[in-house]
Structure 1
Amino acid sequence: MSKDEIIAEIGMQLRLLQESFDAFDEAVAARLGLNRTDTRCLDIVLGRGPLAAGELSVQLKLSPAATTTVIDRLVRAGFVTRNQDPANRRRVLIEATETAQSTAAEIFTPVGQAGAKALARYNPTQLHTILDFLRTALEVHQAHTNT
């Protein structure tokens, strides 16, 4: 294959990977009885939380009212709680529950383990190249998302 053909094939594989991510995310949302915005919010809280609702609004790119609606659904589902910030009593933090953490582990740990097993076939130099590619792809994607 020529360099151009390889680059085209990488583009195609990235498109297929994105479609696979979307299908997986849809399946997770359906399994949890949530919508995609709810699962995006839950993912942010699990990964970066606890967070104030205003911080979640920024991360989700939603209005404060829409973010409150999402949080309400997640509270009813038992995946997040609202807790007073010990450093600022006027601020409420959104935090993932144990149920959310165990559910996330049940769903995502097998995928992470399978991915790690698949990557084990590469040597450290190849892994550095893969990591560099992923960082570059993320940077390019974010730059075009923000314009």
Structure 2
Amino acid sequence: MIAYRKLFRVSKQSPERELLVERAARAAADFGAAAGAVDEQARAVLGINPTDASILAVLYEREQLTAGEAAAAIRLSPAATSTAIQRLVAAGHLTRTPDPADRRRAVLVLTEATRTLLAAIYEPIGDEGTALLADYTDDELRVVTRFLERGRALQLAHADRVRALR
């Protein structure tokens, strides 16, 4: 991964404004890198790759999915998703069970051991992060939320742009 801080370009503004914008941009990049460091360590603990981690993350959030829903959620081809699911089942992270609504389909469910491990990894971060946010005013939270939502949309749009370079 390229160091984002070398890519920051601040338009001509007052020197104070340029420093503030650069500081905010660096803080956002550093935040993303720190979250990436946690995810990297979580993948090491779980013995999985980033694609597998994406599937586990979606399942942790949604409880159960079909393979097709998992593929759509992580924006991966059905074939690649099927391969990842096979790895995760073999590693003991997922089970396939009959869909209660349609017995012809299977749904993916996290094993209890994996759900417990994911909770041990990520729930303390969520709890402490929520406590940090409680220190902000309502107006500050609106700004933080707007920035993060817009930043996420920007990152996903650029992920699509970069994907098209293949």
Same fold per superposition (TM over 0.5): yes
**Structure with greater strand share of residues:** 1
| Residue in structure 2 matched with residue 79 of structure 1 by the alignment | 93
- Identity value in percent: 35
Question: What CA deviation, in whole Å up to 9, does each residue of 1:51-85 have, x standing for no partner?
Answer: 11112122233332321221122212222111111
| Residue in structure 1 matched with residue 132 of structure 2 by the alignment | 118
Deviation, structure 1 residue 145:
3.0
State how 1:50-69 maps to structure 2 within 5 Å. Answer: 50-69=64-83
Q: How far apart, CA to CA, are the structure 2 residues paired with 1:99 and 1:37?
A: 20
Q: How far apart, CA to CA, are the structure 2 residues paired with 1:104 and 1:45?
A: 11
Deviation, structure 1 residue 25:
1.0
| Residue in structure 2 matched with residue 129 of structure 1 by the alignment | 143
Structure 2 residues not aligned, in runs of 5+: 1-14, 162-166
State how 1:1-147 maps to structure 2 within 5 Å. Answer: 2-147=16-161
Q: TM-score, with normalisation over the residues of structure 2?
A: 0.79
Deviation, structure 1 residue 111:
1.0
Higher relative contact order (CA 8 A, sep 6+): 1
Q: How far apart, CA to CA, are the structure 2 residues paired with 1:60 and 1:129?
A: 28
Aligned in 2, Cα 1:65/1:146: closer, same or farther, shift over 3 Å?
A: closer
Structure 1 residues not aligned, in runs of 5+: none
The residue type paired with residue 130 of structure 1 is V
Question: What CA deviation, in whole Å up to 9, does each residue of 1:29-65 have, x standing for no partner?
Answer: 1011112211111001111241111121222333323
The residue type paired with residue 54 of structure 1 is G
Deviation, structure 1 residue 19:
1.4
Secondary structure class of the residue paired with 2:55: helix
Q: How far apart, CA to CA, are the structure 2 residues paired with 1:142 and 1:31?
A: 27
**What is the count of residue pairs matched by the alignment?**
147
